[in-house]
């Protein structure tokens, strides 16, 4: 017999047996009430009392069974009977006892007051007791298990959620976890008990009590705690070998129902400890509503999330443009299934193909462009630098030019913190993209859009000024803006998926350098910033996110190993492979020359544009594009001539390491001097070759 059939068969037997028990319990309760009233002497009970009881009680018992059935007393899962069910049974049984009082009094006669009171108490105890006793037996059984038979659990958070988790653990029939202690930062709770579990201290006492109570699991039951508090506590917990789980959010507290099923494994993202960015998305979506939106690179990590958020807020049309058909097809299927009424177009093509780009803008006339198409892999671009320039810089220029000449309102460039003092060709190419955006903005605002050349078109077939009158450059209204942020968790090429795969294989986990640090943010955060930039832009801005404190990649790898249940350098080895070509030890969010201006959102800033001569920039840009399309070996030198802040990684990392060493010396009371110059003078970056 299958498990499902066996369960149904057991229920068919259990329900009638429970009904028979309830009838017997009700009848016995009021008989013993009458018996006790007359000193436990059956012969002393008056005949009219016995007659009233004998006639009325069977009818009353049947009515009780019908009411209990209506309140689903016979469908309860006994192992999960809790306080709510207990109160419900008490109330229903009490109300039925009142019915007994009125019924027997009206239909037959007044009975002794003690008969009513004792009968009510006996009935309530008998009805609720049988249902609660099974849960109590489970709890007692689980509490008697030895440490060898159960996992020993520490609960962090002795509040409502912690209490419910403890109750669920102690009441579960097959749960092999035993809560042995609890932690709470409220000093008034130390030394007290929650569900029989001692509260042994605050977060500073976690490590000592893990050892004292031989804990091998830690459950974080603090759904309302801030991200910073969770990060600090989880960082302490990660120093142990315990398995970590936590409640995902505060939503479970809304209805007071929290159980083990709500617990989730702690992810490495939780250890970053930064509150998510909160932007006023209503303004953003009001701006998108009814607009034609084009997302280049729409199949990528950032591009696909942009498409999801745009699709959810009623654009007139959404156009996904990507060169990789598989990713484009996946997001197309997802959006068509979720938004069947969405006017969606999925187009395949390259931003390097000016004819294709012009064709898209001619056919669809997008109002807003989110330009996410780019090569982003640093070491691969070091090996193929011309491709970085062609795809990132030239692709951005061609797409921006098409947007400008086809009535686009906003053009939002997705940039990166690697564009700040770039040490690799990918970062340098993205800095060129930012300068392209600033150049377009400057030319448009000064009424000189016609001075922007069309670089590397295909025989002029997509010439914007086809009639030669220059009318296409009149009344240009496109506003260009760039958004700069750091590494995105969960994106293609992110270190965390790579680390997870390495751990699954048993290691080793490869970290490029023990001191390398990075800023991190989530994909939804990055996308919300991009969309906000497209809404509040006035042209020429570089929006920068305050991404909080940087994270050491070595620490990130070690925490991920611990969260996977292994010990770093014992179960899973960590190997340092050395910095990859073009890779920095430290990422920056702004160049030293840039200043910050706050926006309405405290976590979003605007970097003051670095002034440069746009005409000289365009001349240099022509040279670089020509070198890239001819696959010249000296392309990096040409880029260095254009971008004065572009500095080879080996030089930059050496300077940065020296700067940090000096900073540490100063913190320890030492003053750095050398050859009559300050350290800051030694590290001033080369003056840009473009005239200011």
What per-residue confidence (pLDDT) applies to 526?
77
C-alpha 450/C-alpha 246 separation (Å) is 59
Of the two residues 252 and 14, the one the predictor is more confident about is 14
SS3 623: helix
Cα 579 versus chain centre, distance: 29
Average pLDDT rounded to a whole number, residues 561-576: 80
pLDDT band at 443 (very low <50, low <70, confident <90, very high): very high
- DSSP string covering 480-519, please? EEEEEE-EEETSTT-HHHHHHHHHHTT-PEEES-TT-EE-
Cut 0.85: pTM above it: no
Indicate whether 131 pLDDT > 80: no
Q: Which domains does the chain have, with CATH numbers?
A: 13-142 (no CATH), 146-266 (3.40.50.720), 281-490+520-548+592-642 (3.40.50.720)
**Greatest distance between any 2 Cα atoms in the chain:** 122
CB atoms within 10 A of CB 44: 10
pLDDT tens by residue, 17-74:
888 888 888 888 888 888 888 878 887 888 888 888 888 888 888 888 888 888 777 7
pLDDT band at 400 (very low <50, low <70, confident <90, very high): very high
Q: Residue 111 has which token pair?
A: 């009975």
DSSP annotation of 148: T
pLDDT band at 253 (very low <50, low <70, confident <90, very high): very low
Indicate whether 446 pLDDT > 70: yes
H or E segment to which residue 611 belongs: none
pLDDT band at 276 (very low <50, low <70, confident <90, very high): low
Average pLDDT rounded to a whole number, residues 75-98: 74
pLDDT band at 679 (very low <50, low <70, confident <90, very high): very low
pLDDT tens by residue, 330-362:
999 999 999 999 999 999 999 999 999 999 999
Q: Which of 421, 412, 366, 415 lies closest to 392, judged by CA?
A: 415
H or E segment to which residue 278 belongs: none
What per-residue confidence (pLDDT) applies to 673?
32
Of the two residues 164 and 278, the one the predictor is more confident about is 164
Residue 308 contacts by C-beta under 8 Å, 6 or more apart in sequence?
Answer: 331, 334, 335
Q: Residue 138 has which token pair?
A: 């489970």
Indicate whether 675 pLDDT > 70: no
Indicate whether 319 pLDDT > 80: yes
Indicate whether 125 pLDDT > 80: yes
pLDDT tens by residue, 604-636:
778 776 788 999 999 999 999 999 999 998 899
pLDDT tens by residue, 501-549:
888 888 888 988 888 877 777 777 778 877 877 787 777 788 887 666 6
Indicate whether 112 pLDDT > 80: yes
What per-residue confidence (pLDDT) applies to 688?
33
The mean pLDDT of the chain is 78
In this structure, of 4-13, 123-132, 403-412, 629-638, the range with the lowest mean pLDDT score is 4-13
What per-residue confidence (pLDDT) applies to 492?
57
What per-residue confidence (pLDDT) applies to 247?
65
pLDDT band at 368 (very low <50, low <70, confident <90, very high): very high
In this structure, of 273-282, 467-476, 658-667, the range with the lowest mean pLDDT score is 658-667
Report long-range pairs for 363-366 (Cβ below 8 Å, ≥24 apart).
364/292, 364/294, 364/317, 364/319, 365/292, 365/406, 365/407, 366/292, 366/293, 366/294, 366/319, 366/403, 366/406, 366/408
Of the two residues 665 and 300, the one the predictor is more confident about is 300
What per-residue confidence (pLDDT) applies to 310?
92
C-alpha 674/C-alpha 682 separation (Å) is 10
What per-residue confidence (pLDDT) applies to 292?
96
C-alpha 110/C-alpha 101 separation (Å) is 9
């Amino acid at each position: 017999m299958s498990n499902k059939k066996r369960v149904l068969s057991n229920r068919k037997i259990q329900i009638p047996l429970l009904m028979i028990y309830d009838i017997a319990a009700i009848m016995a309760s009021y008989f013993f009430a009458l018996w006790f009233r007359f000193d436990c002497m059956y012969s002393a009970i008056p005949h009219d009392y016995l007659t009233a009881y004998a006639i009325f009680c069977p009818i009353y018992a049947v009515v009780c069974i019908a009411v209990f059935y209506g309140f689903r007393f016979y469908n309860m899962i006994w192992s999960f009977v809790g306080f709510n069910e207990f109160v419900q049974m008490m109330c229903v049984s009490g109300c039925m006892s009142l019915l007994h009082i009125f019924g027997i009094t009206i239909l037959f006669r007044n009975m002794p007051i003690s008969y009513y009171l004792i009968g009510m108490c006996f009935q309530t105890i008998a009805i609720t007791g049988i249902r609660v006793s099974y849960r109590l037996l489970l709890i007692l059984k689980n509490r008697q298990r030895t440490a060898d038979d159960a996992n020993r659990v520490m609960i962090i958070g002795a509040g409502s959620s912690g209490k419910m988790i403890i109750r669920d653990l102690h009441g579960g029939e097959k749960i092999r976890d035993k809560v042995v202690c609890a932690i709470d930062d409220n000093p008034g709770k130390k030394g007290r008990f929650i569900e029989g579990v001692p509260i042994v201290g605050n977060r500073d006492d976690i490590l000592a009590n893990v050892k004292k109570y031989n804990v091998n699991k830690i459950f974080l039951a603090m759904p309302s705690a801030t991200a910073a508090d969770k990060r600090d506590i989880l960082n302490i917990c990660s120093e142990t070998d315990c398995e970590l789980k936590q409640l995902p959010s505060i939503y479970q507290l809304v209805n007071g129902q929290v159980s083990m099923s709500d617990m989730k494994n702690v992810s490495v993202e939780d250890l970053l400890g930064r509150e998510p960015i909160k932007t006023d998305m209503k303004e953003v979506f009001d701006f998108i509503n009814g607009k034609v939106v084009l997302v280049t690179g729409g199949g990528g990590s950032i591009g696909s999330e942009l498409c999801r958020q745009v699709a959810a807020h009623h654009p007139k049309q959404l156009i996904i443009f990507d060169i990789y058909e598989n990713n484009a097809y996946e997001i197309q299927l997802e959006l068509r299934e979720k938004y069947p009424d969405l006017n969606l177009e999925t187009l395949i093509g390259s931003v390097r193909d000016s004819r294709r780009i012009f064709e898209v803008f001619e056919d669809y006339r997008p109002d807003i462009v989110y330009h996410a198409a780019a090569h982003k892999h640093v070491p691969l671009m070091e090996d193929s630098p011309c491709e970085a320039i062609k795809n990132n810089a030239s692709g951005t220029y061609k797409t921006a030019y098409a947007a400008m000449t086809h009535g686009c309102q906003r053009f939002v460039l997705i940039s990166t913190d690697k564009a700040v003092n770039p040490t690799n060709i990918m970062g340098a190419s993205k800095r060129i993209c930012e300068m392209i955006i600033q150049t377009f903005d400057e030319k448009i605002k000064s009424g000189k859009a016609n001075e922007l050349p069309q670089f590397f078109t295909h025989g002029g077939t997509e010439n914007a000024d086809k009639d030669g009158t220059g009318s296409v450059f009149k009344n240009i209204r496109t506003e260009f803006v760039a958004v700069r942020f750091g590494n995105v968790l969960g994106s293609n090429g992110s270190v965390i998926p790579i680390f997870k795969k390495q751990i699954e294989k048993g290691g080793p986990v490869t970290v490029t350098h023990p001191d390398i640090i990075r800023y991190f943010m989530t994909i939804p955060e990055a996308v919300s910033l991009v969309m906000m930039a497209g809404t509040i832009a006035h042209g020429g801005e570089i929006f920068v996110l305050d991404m909080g404190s940087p994270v050491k990649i070595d620490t990130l790898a070690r925490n991920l190993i611990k969260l996977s249940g292994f010990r770093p350098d014992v179960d899973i080895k960590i190997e340092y492979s050395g910095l990859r070509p073009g890779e920095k030890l430290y990422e920056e969010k702004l160049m030293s020359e840039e200043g910050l201006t706050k926006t309405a959102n405290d976590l979003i800033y605007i970097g003051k544009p670095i002034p440069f001569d746009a005409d000289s920039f365009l001349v240099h840009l022509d040279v670089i594009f020509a070198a890239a399309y001819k696959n010249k070996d000296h392309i990096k030198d040409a880029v260095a001539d254009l971008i004065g802040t572009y500095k080879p990684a080996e030089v930059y990392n050496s300077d940065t390491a020296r700067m940090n060493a000096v900073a540490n010396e100063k913190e320890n009371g030492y003053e750095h001097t050398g050859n009559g110059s300050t350290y800051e003078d030694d590290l001033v970056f080369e003056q840009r070759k473009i005239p200011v």
